[in-house]
Amino acid sequence: MSAEGGSASGGKIGIFDSGLGGLIILKEIIKKLPQYDYIYLGDNARTPYGNRSREVIYNFTEQAVDFLFKQDCQLIIIACNTASAEALFKIQNEWLPKNYPDRRVLGVIRPVVEKAIISGKKKVGIIGTKGTVNSHVYIEEIQNKKPQLEVLQQACPLLVPLVEEGWQKTDVTKRVLRTYLKPLKSAKVDTLILGCTHYPILFKEIQGIMGKRTKVLHSGEIVADSLADYLGRHPEIESKLDKNSQNIFYVTDLSSHYQKLGEEWFGKGIKFEKIDLK
């Protein structure tokens, strides 16, 4: 394998998440664009990223992106909101030009923000990890484009562990959700951004708590539409992609528990291969 990574025969689309929540994003992308070859990488041995320092999040993200490029990915989507908020800019502007100048790395925040701006009338709410919320990236992106929108945030650090444990249907999770969402519901936000790949798994529960007056945005559908649009606008990238409808799934920790979650969130027949990013 060359320093550029991979062979010149073709290319794949990489999807990286700090855990398995990104499988929800990938599922929607494949539904929209089934012809391409995809490689999924979930760093579930080190999830969640949301409570870690910016330096550590960046280092983990760089390791993951480098791994995927070495597996022949031409284009990578960082599905993790925390990594998109804390590492994407530096990856795109400093690391990529030096290491893989002909490849591309995209995040999930900008497409969701663009949708929120269209949907938002007066108040937009955001729920996310501590890392995503503390970065203020959603607030900055929204108010740069539509400053008249009021933006409210709520950190929800317990949701990722609860979802990863498969507890999304339990009363415990519903009580935690109601507690987290209460300030946003009381503020009468008209649009709610699910600022973490795990949260669409709780979509029905969140929509039920917020009520019909709040539009809850499904990041998976939004990112899939955005990728289709991106490839249409960038034929120089699209033309390099393999079209065999093949999917590969890598994780940094493998157990029967994770296998069960993968089947629940993506579908039966999913096969994980364990790799080490360190």
Please list the active-site residues. 80, 196
In eight-state DSSP terms, residue 253 is: S
Helix (H, G, I), strand (E, B) or coil at 104: strand
CA distances from 12 to 73, 97, 214, 244, 270 (A): 4, 19, 37, 10, 18
Query: 112 has which bridge partners?
Result: none
Using the CB atoms, write b or e for 17-37: b if 16+ within 10 Å: bbbbbbbbbbbbbbeebeebb
Residue type, 96: L
CA distances from 9 to 14, 36, 243 (A): 16, 14, 12
Report which of 278, 276, 221, 255 is spatially closest to residue 20, judged by C-alpha positions. Answer: 255
Residue type, 105: V
d(C-alpha 196, C-alpha 156), whole Å: 10
